[in-house]
Every structure is written in structure tokens, then in C-alpha cells.
Chains A and B, each alone.
Chain A
Amino acid sequence: MLRSGQPLTGPNRKHCREDEMLLGTVLDEGERGFIIDTRSAQAAKQARMTGGGTEPKSSYPQWRRLHRPLERGRPLQESFIKLVEACNDPSTSMDRWLSRLESCRWLSHVKAALSTACLAAQCVDREEASVLVHGAEGTDTTLLVTALAQVILDPSCRTLMGFQGLLEREWIEAGHPFHLRCARSAYSHARLKQEAPLFLLFLDCVWQLSRQFPFSLEFGERLLLTLFDNAYASAYGTFLCNSEKERRVGREESTHSLWAWLNQPGEKKKYLNPLYSPNALVIWPSVEPQSIQLWQGLFFRWIRSSQYLEEAWAETQRLAAGN
């Protein structure tokens, strides 16, 4: 699985011999690859006007392009804000709750993200073909897809350590601009241009997987909530800045790593899933609407007592520990 930014084809349909060769090296003679473009075909075409674009068929003959539009940027942030508002609104009656939920579109975004990640995973696992994923910049929906696909495909990414490694690799080192994207969150009126909850969307998708495959992830919901918190505001330096380049200026000397803290034996056990049993196989989620649920643990976290669910979790831990 590869990821990149969009090719800078531009309005004049530029070619780049080196880029073609680079992609060429990935495939053997006669082999076929897939390009998953996370923009709609139209958006991708329009990108040419501003210097971007798509890979022309003639230059990349072995690659088949698929468009799977995923929401990003401002619209995604709006979706998030609307959802949080809906959840917080005590006057919402049962009559209107579902349509309100629908109008936020958040769950549709979860479905689309999971579907696209599964598609990428299918390319690799079922078609045994290489796949290149990119959107526009390669820093948002691209990472969402590649990271999620790895959780689906790779059992080592589902371990606590492996998941941390995945985050380091596919989000942090890959250059997701955390500082810009996870700035003020859903309550702020500031409406920053660059803010968008891609990382939260990723965590939500992982939560959906944990619900559908309760034995297959070594970590539980608590880890996901902690990661969500720390992406926005953290005592640790892990999610600082927007890129490796920015971080290199003194992060390691001046801050502590979130991973170091999480992995301490005393802390670690809080994040483990007591039901975990290593599953060597690929986990294929159902993306039917019935299978995708609202992440209550996150969206109702401060609104409603989770006492009974926590008690149930404690009981689960107690039972599993007995084994």
C-alpha cells in the first residue's frame, strides 16, 4: 500500500518521467495496481485548474483509478459541530432525533471511511494488487484510509504497541497537521479554516471495528478516548506541531512522550481489552447502516452518566481476568 499527494498534472497535463518510473517499479510486468483517489472524479478534475490533478491513464497504464470521495476540511468540521450540538440539546425529542442525526452526516462519513479503507484492504488482500492512496495533499483522508486499512489487514496493528506504531507512522510522521486540524474542537465559535476532525473520524472508525470485533483489538475504548483528548490538548509532545520538520526543533528535549506514559505497567492495564485474543486473520467490518453506531462513549461522554456501562466493563474485566 502506498500513499502520496496528488500528481501536479495541472491544466497543461504535465508529465513526470520520474514519477511514472517510481510507480512503475512497484509493479511487475503485466501486474495491475489500483489508485484510490479520495476525491470525487469531478473534484479531482477541477484540481487541475489549480495545478493538481489525476494520473493520466496513458502515462500510468498499469494502474486503474478508483474515486471514493471522502469528506474533509470545513464540511467535516461542520458535521462534527452539528453532531455535538445535537447530542447536547436537551430539547431534542425522539421524534426528530434520527433525522437530526442524519443531517449531521457524521455517520455517513464513518461509513464512507470504513468502506474506502476496506476497499484498499481488498485490493491488497483479495486482489493481491498494490494500491496507491491519495487525495489532494496526502495529509488527511489519505492517512485515514491507509491507517484504517492496516488495522483491518494487519493483526500486529491491533496490538497496543502495534497501534501506537501505526499512529506514529501513518499519522504523526506522515505529516498530518495536528496543530491545525485539532485546534479548537466542536464548541468553539472560531471556525478556523484549517480545522477538521480527520483524526477523530479515524478513532471513530476504529471504535466501530472494536464493536464488531470485540476480541480482536488489544486495546479498548478508553485508549481511543485518551488519544482523542491528547490530539486536541496534551501534556505530552507527541501530537505537537504539523510535521516532523517542525517537531524536530526541540521536541524530544523539551517534552515527554505520550507513548512512554501509556506504556507504563500501571497505566497500560487501563487501556487493555480484557477480551483480547490475537486474531491472525483480516477483519472485514460490515458497513451496513445497522452495523454503524453512534459512538456514545465519546459523544455522550459528558452528557450522560456512563456508570452502568462502566460497571459492566468492570465486570467483564473481572470475569476475563478469572480466566
Chain B
Amino acid sequence: VENVRLLDRLSSRKAALGTLYLTATHVIFVENVSETRKETWVLHSQISSIEKQATTASGCPLLIRCKNFQVIQLVIPQERDCHDVYISLIRLTRPVKYEELYCFSFNPKLNKEEREQGWKLVDLNEEYNRMGIPNNYWQISDVNRDYGVCDSYPTEVYVPKSATAHIIVGSSKFRSRRRFPALSYYCKGNNAAICRSSQPLSGFSARCLEDEQMLQAIRKANPGSDFIYVVDTRPKLNAMANRAAGKGYENEDNYSNIKFQFIGIENIHVMRNSLQKMLEVCELKSPSMSDFLWGLENSGWLKHIKAIMDAGIFIAKAVAEEGVSVLVHCSDGWDRTAQVCSVASLLLDPYYRTMKGFMVLIEKDWVSFGHKFNHRYGNLDGDPKEISPVIDQFIECVWQLMEQFPCAFEFNERFLIHIQHHVYSCQFGNFLCNSQKERRELKIQERTYSLWSHLWKNRADYLNPLYRSDHSQTQGTLRPQMAPCNFLYKFWSGMYNRFEKGLQPRQSVTDYLMAVKEETQQLEEELEVLGERLANLQKLELNDNKVKSKQQDRSKQLGLSTSNNSLANTPQEYSSDLKSFPSRSPSQGDEEDSALILTQDNLKSSDPDLSANSDQESGVEDLSCRSPSGGGCLPSEDSGKDSDEAVFLAV
């Protein structure tokens, strides 16, 4: 469709005119401006809702909201065209079969072996070995090898040595969805462990010998403690209500040596609504500080993040400080349980704070344990009531921790944002379906590619320059404080306002420090080499001179200090009184600013080339695309270098 306008949320003046394209996998908007022809690409799987708004004199507005929080406002001149686009998009964004998804057509031009290798990058068996299993207390069990016991669990589960197959099967019959207690994390240092399950089908008075034996087995697997904690991550009221439906929670009287604890985290529906409310605040036009703070509090979002974090802290403390094992569950053991176990693991074990370790953590507690990716993130068109930002919340917990402990994580914010992006993008096969069983049935590994190897290839973009493996922050357990004045939860504008460049700090400290770090490393290595050479050589004047001039050239080339000068930016509208500057001609400012924009060649970034195709997520490998992946580029939301984006001029 031609002559479509793409509006800017913060500035109604800055509308770009161009052509809108719909393909099998993307919505693409190409600007008419002949030199740049800037493209905006949006994957259908990213689209969360499409809203057709009332036709105005200027055309038919169409609002597209994405799961990665991008909001695109289009104005289509003809009502008929707008309606057609709307209907098409509705269909395209509600795939019915898995085969319609992008990952099945995405082609990064890797051969079969490379694809396989990609999938092998994260190996859970290796991970449990790293933890120190199998050992005297824990072992692998193949009781679920054909998914016969629990179809949402993996084929390989880790259980206490004293838990026989009989006990496991018996226990699974007493657990919602058959999700029996299994090992999530084992602490070598003191034998304390984190296990996870779903709620017991205890109703008001039902008992199950095998389930009680299962919990005893977990306790016995930790000789250092004579009890275990059982943590129910639901609010007490909800858990009690479940009893009426024949489910519920563990009665301390029936299970010997357990200490039961409720940690009230709300359910998926509350979380869905919370996010919705927060996004509404983000869409406000020129909100006051009051509007924003009230809106944010009203949504309850940060309160929920804190609840998840506090649960993780409680469990980490139990394991690290008390040396007591913990069994965690919620209702079905695949949402809050996943969040809380993975936060706790992250706090306990520095390995999960490395890039590889983080991938392993997600593979373990989310992918293998049957978190319902399809239902929660809408791979396929399904029940809207199943949709909920569960993994988003976990990812935000990690970000909050990164803000408080800047040296503790090997990866940076961009890593988290890209992972979140790909949970919804369906460009890779990792987050498809609802269980390992479904993924194997669909032969995901033979037909799609792994996100992990893609991220790993580009890991230079995801490193945290402040991370040092020998730093005190990176050792051992992280111990965040719980009181609000001790751990301030911030609004994550890098995620929720990701695409509003006017809001982000213009200059990326992370990128700069990474570049410095690399340069310093290079120079140090060179210095070493040269030092050796000098020691070996006689005093040859000629060589010395050559060496000196090379070093000078290099520091000129890198020019890290001068590159920041090109970060011109434009003023936003500072007065709500639009008539402040009536004589201004709007175009003036734009030209001025574009003249000041220089592309930065020196700072390495995962951003694609800024000229054309800046937002490309191509099904075809684009060699000009700066992002070194084999074709999958990400929207250039974090290009602090592309500075003309900033909002608008005073009228």
C-alpha cells in the first residue's frame, strides 16, 4: 500500500511517508525519502494486537502493538486498504500450524552439521555433571523416558537416590499434571538442593504415601539438615481455594519434617493485567511525573517483580546460609516455580551469571521443565487467557539485579533484551511448543536453528565490560537486600520504551567500555609481542621507528574520544504550550540536525548498518547487515548513534 504515513509517538509532526508491504513473515514499511529509504521490519509473531482507529481527514489510523513493546502507528489513506491490511494482519498474526512460523523458513545459511552443533551448545547432562551429579545422594532417572509418567517433564529427571521408580510414579499421581518433585539445583558445598514440583492433590484430607516418601527422600539426600522447606509461591488464599478443587498444599502434619511457607506471588491473569496497565502508562502522551508514578504504582508491576525476587532470595538464603533443601511449587509448577527457581539459582551460583551459564539456566528451568512457551507467548493462535509475561518478569528480575550488582554478570542488558525479543519472535526453535515432548514430535532440532548458538556467535556484543571473573561481586552468592530502601526497583525503560530513542541515554557506556577494553587488550598483547621482539633484536633504529608510527596510527584510527562528538541530539518539546515558538518553520530544524549526524564506525555494536535496512529481520541473509549474525538482525532500537530520532521540536 502506498502513501502510508508512519507516525512517531512522541511527535505527531515527524511522520514518515512511505510504502507498506505485507509478506508471509513480516510487515515492512519503507520510507520514500530517496537517499535513506529507511526500512522498518516487524515480524508477524511479534505483533500482539492490531487496532483500527477512527478514520480522520488524513486517513485511517492503524495501531500495531508488539510483544517486544514496539508500538507502530500507521495512517493509511484509503479506508478500504486499511481494512484489507487489518484483516490480513489479523490472519497472519494468528498462525494455526507451527509450520507457519518464521523459524521453519528462516535460513541463516548454515549446513546441517552447523545446525546440529548449534543445538548441542547447551547440554543439560553436562550441567548436572557440573553440579556434581550423579553422586551419593542424587541420580538420574529414566522413569519418564517415554514421557509415560509426566508428559510435560523431560525424559531425564534427577531424583534423590532413595527415590525408587515406584515412589516417583506414586508421587506423580498425587501431583497436579503429574509433575512430581524433581531436582532443579544442587549445591555441592553443603548438599542442599532446590527441587520443584506442582501442587499436591491433597484436597482437604487426601494423603499419598509415595508423595510423602518422595519428600522424605529429598530430605534424606541432605544429611546436613533434618527438615526441608516447602515453599508454595501462591498467595495463601489461592492455595486454600485450590483445596476445594481437590488440590492444595502440603499439610505439615502429614509430611514429616517439613516447614511450610507461603510466598504470595500472584497468578498469570493478575500479571497479564499488570503489564497491560503498565504499557498503558508508557503510551501516555507527555505524562506528568504524577501521571507516570501513579500509573506505574497502579499497575503493581514492580511490586510483582519484587515478590518474585523476594521468593528467590528466601530460597537462596535457605540453601546457602541455612543449608536446608527446598521444594518449590505453585499450582502447576511451570510458571512461578520456574521464575523463583531460576532467580534462586542465579543468586546462588556464579556460573549462571556467565553468558553460557545463563543459557543453561533457561534451558534447564524453563525449556526442559515444560514451561508453556506456546500458550504463554502466543506462538500459535490460542486462548488469550493463557498469555502472560512470565519469562519477561524473570528477565526483568535479572536486569534489576544487574543494576544493583553491575560487576556480577558476564552479560549486559542487550543480551537480556534480545533473549526476550526472541522468546516472541519464533525465529529460532528453542521457545516453541509447550514441552520437550511436543518439540521432539515436531522435530524442532532438525528443522529449525538454535538461538543459543546465534547469540554465542555474537557474544562480543553481549559482554559486560565491568565483569571480571576474579571480582568480589562475581564470587559466590549474591545477597541482595529486601527492604525497598535497600533495593530500589527501577522502571526498565530500556525494555518497555526500547524503541523510543529519545528516552534512552544517548551514549552507551557499555559499548564504549567494551571498545576500550578490547583496545587495551589488543595494545597489551601487542606490547608483549613487541617487548619480546625488542629484547631479541639488536638496537635497530629502523624497527623502532616503524613500531612507533604504527602505534600512533592505531590510536588515531580508534579515535574513541572523538566519536562521541557526533552524538548530536535534538530537543524534545519542553513546553506543553505549543505556541511558544510560532514563527519556527518545522523543516529547518530537521535539516540542521541531519547535518550533524555522523555514523560511528569505530564502536562495535550489534546494530545493523544505519543507512538502509536499519530494522531488518531478514529471512534472507543480508550481507550488508552489520549485525554479524547469518541474516537475523534485530531492530536498531539501541543505536544511540542514530541521533535524529529524538523527539520533536517545539512548535
Contact = CB atoms under 8 A, between A and B. Distances in A.
B24 interface: no
B512 A215 contact: yes
A319 B404 contact: no
A287 B484 contact: no
Which of A90, A93, A98, A99 is the most central at the interface, judged by chain B CB atoms within 10 Å of its CB? A98
Contacts of B517: 319, 322
B490 to A, nearest CB: 7
Interface string B521-564: 00000000000000000000000000000000000000011101
B584 A127 contact: yes
B292 A289 contact: yes
Interface string A49-91: 0000000000000000010100000000000000000011110
Nearest to B581: A127
Nearest to A129: B581
Contacts of B502: 286, 288
Interface string A111-145: 10001101101100011000000000000000000
B289 A88 contact: no
A308 B473 contact: yes
A122 B574 contact: yes
A293 interface: yes
Contacts of B408: 308
A93 B486 CA distance: 11
Contact of A290 (B297, B503, B509): B503
Given A289-B288, A319-B516, A126 B649 contact: yes
Which of A121, A286, A322 is the most central at the interface, judged by chain B CB atoms within 10 Å of its CB? A286
A320 B516 contact: yes
B552 to A, nearest CB: 15
Contacts of A90: 483, 485
B289 A68 contact: no
Contacts of A107: 289, 293
Interface stretch (A157-165, A249-257, A274-282): A274-282
Interface stretch (B28-36, B40-48, B190-198, B565-573): B565-573
B564 A97 contact: no
Given A89-B485, A286-B503, A290-B292, A68 B575 contact: yes
Contacts of B569: 281, 283-284
Given A122-B571, A323-B520, A284 B289 contact: no
A296 interface: yes
Interface in A290-323: 290-294, 296, 300, 303-304, 308-309, 311-312, 315-316, 319-320, 322-323
A102 interface: yes
A102 B488 contact: no
Contacts of A235: none
B580 A94 contact: no
Contact of B484 (A68, A92, A102): A92
Contacts of A304: 481, 485-486
Contacts of B5: none
Contacts of A214: 505, 507, 509
A281 B589 CA distance: 15
A261 interface: no
Given A275-B509, A288-B503, A281 B565 contact: yes
Which of B292, B561, B649 is the most central at the interface, judged by chain A CB atoms within 10 Å of its CB? B292
Interface residues of B, number: 73
A108 B293 CA distance: 10
B21 interface: no
A284 B493 CA distance: 18
B513 interface: yes
A192 interface: no
B577 interface: yes
Interface string A211-237: 111111000000000000000000000
A40 to B, nearest CB: 12
B404 A308 contact: yes
Given A118-B571, A119-B575, A291 B405 contact: no
A294 B407 CA distance: 22
Nearest to B521: A322
B291 interface: yes
Nearest to A87: B485
Nearest to A66: B580
Interface in B288-328: 288-294, 296-297, 300, 302-303, 306
B596 interface: yes
Contacts of B570: 284
A267 interface: no
A102 B468 CA distance: 38
Nearest to B577: A66
Nearest to A92: B484
B581 A316 contact: no
B503 A277 contact: no
A167 interface: no
A101 interface: yes
A95 interface: yes
A294 B580 contact: no
Contacts of A99: 293-294, 297
Nearest to B485: A303
Which of B561, B564, B589 is the most central at the interface, judged by chain A CB atoms within 10 Å of its CB? B564
Contacts of A287: 572, 574
A67 B57 CA distance: 34
Contact of A97 (B404, B484, B589): B484
Given A279-B564, A286-B572, A290-B491, A98 B512 contact: no
B483 A215 contact: no
Contacts of A118: 571, 574
B163 interface: no
Given A283-B569, A292-B289, A322-B517, A119 B574 contact: yes
B519 interface: yes
Nearest to B290: A102
Contact of B294 (A98, A121, A290): A98
A308 B407 CA distance: 8
Contacts of B405: 308
Interface string B455-469: 000000000011010
A315 B466 contact: yes
B289 to A, nearest CB: 4
A277 B516 contact: no
Which of B293, B300, B405 is the most central at the interface, judged by chain A CB atoms within 10 Å of its CB? B293
A215 B574 contact: no
Nearest to B580: A66
B472 interface: yes
A87 B486 CA distance: 10
A126 B570 CA distance: 10
B287 interface: yes
A88 B485 contact: yes
A312 B507 CA distance: 18
Contacts of A316: 466, 509, 513
Which of B303, B408, B581 is the most central at the interface, judged by chain A CB atoms within 10 Å of its CB? B581
A166 to B, nearest CB: 21
Interface in B141-175: none
Nearest to B561: A277
B435 interface: no
Nearest to B486: A304
B516 A94 contact: no
For the complex of A and B, list the 7 residue pairs with the smallest distance between their C-beta atoms, beginning with the closest: A289-B292, A312-B406, A98-B297, A102-B293, A322-B520, A284-B571, A108-B289
10 contacts: A92-B484, A93-B484, A102-B297, A121-B571, A213-B507, A288-B10, A294-B488, A304-B486, A309-B404, A311-B471
Given A119-B580, A308-B408, 20 more contacts: A90-B485, A92-B485, A97-B484, A99-B297, A101-B293, A108-B290, A111-B289, A119-B650, A126-B584, A126-B589, A215-B512, A281-B596, A284-B570, A284-B572, A286-B502, A288-B572, A290-B491, A303-B486, A316-B513, A319-B513
